[in-house]
Amino acid sequence: MQKGVVRKRRPTPLSEYGRQLSQKQELRNQYNLKERQFAKYVKETLAQKIREGTSADVFVARLEQRLDNVIFRAGLAGSRSEARQMVSHGHFLVNGKRTKVPSHEIKIGDAITVRTPSLKSVLFKNIAMKIAKHNPPSWLELNKGTLEVKRKGTPSLQELGLSVEVPLIFEFYSR
């Protein structure tokens, strides 16, 4: 072999553990969660005796019903990070009570509104134009005039169209 010639190597395929880890990291980063929070959601879902639906459906539904995610899905924020910041700064009322906890679980029938003083904020200046083009998912109801969001159902895996394989995440945590 000549000196200075570099042979190209084929990339080694990912191991089963590597696939599980990459799926977990992808979903965790998508929902903007810390490792500890994400692991807690997975372990609580695995500990439940699931009657209706699969554990993957229940797990993803729990992630989707977080307050910061509902704000993002409704179109009131451009990203989950922005929604998380808006919630932690106290810009929203859940059923008339100010909530600063991004992980607050939104139940079916809960109403989320923007606080009146917050409407004057720079964050909400062009919100009417932003949400005019936005169509919220079928499990959320958005009143574009009053900026009120109501949860009216539970999201399904098919509706969300996630690019990850949730069962691999459960396998990762069941080691």
Question: The CATH number of the domain where 25 resides is what?
Answer: 3.10.290.10
| pLDDT at position 2 | 65
Would you say residue 47 has pLDDT above 90?
A: no
Span 23-40, pLDDT tens digits: 999 999 999 999 999 999
Q: Give the domain range for residue 68.
A: 16-154+164-173
Q: How many other β-carbons are positioned within 10 Å of the β-carbon of residue 119?
A: 14
Q: Is residue 69 part of a domain?
A: yes
SS (H, E, C) 105-118: ECCCCCEEEECCHH
Query: What is the pLDDT averaged over residues 59-74?
Result: 93
Query: What is the pLDDT averaged over residues 152-170?
Result: 87
Q: How many other β-carbons are positioned within 10 Å of the β-carbon of residue 27?
A: 22
Q: For the sheet containing 92-94, what is the strand order?
A: 97-99, 92-94, 111-114, 148-151, 140-143
Q: Is residue 4 part of a domain?
A: no
Query: What is the pLDDT averaged over residues 88-94?
Result: 95
Span 140-157, pLDDT tens digits: 999 988 889 999 998 888
Model pTM? 0.86
Q: Is residue 108 part of a domain?
A: yes
Q: Is residue 27 part of a domain?
A: yes
Q: Is residue 25 part of a domain?
A: yes
Q: Is residue 61 part of a domain?
A: yes
Q: Is residue 5 part of a domain?
A: no
User: Are 152 and 139 contacting, i.e. CB atoms less than 8 angstroms apart?
Assistant: yes
Bigger pLDDT: 1 vs 152: 152
> How many domains does the chain fold into?
1
Report residue 1's pLDDT band, with 50, 70 and 90 as the boundaries.
Answer: low
Q: Is residue 96 part of a domain?
A: yes
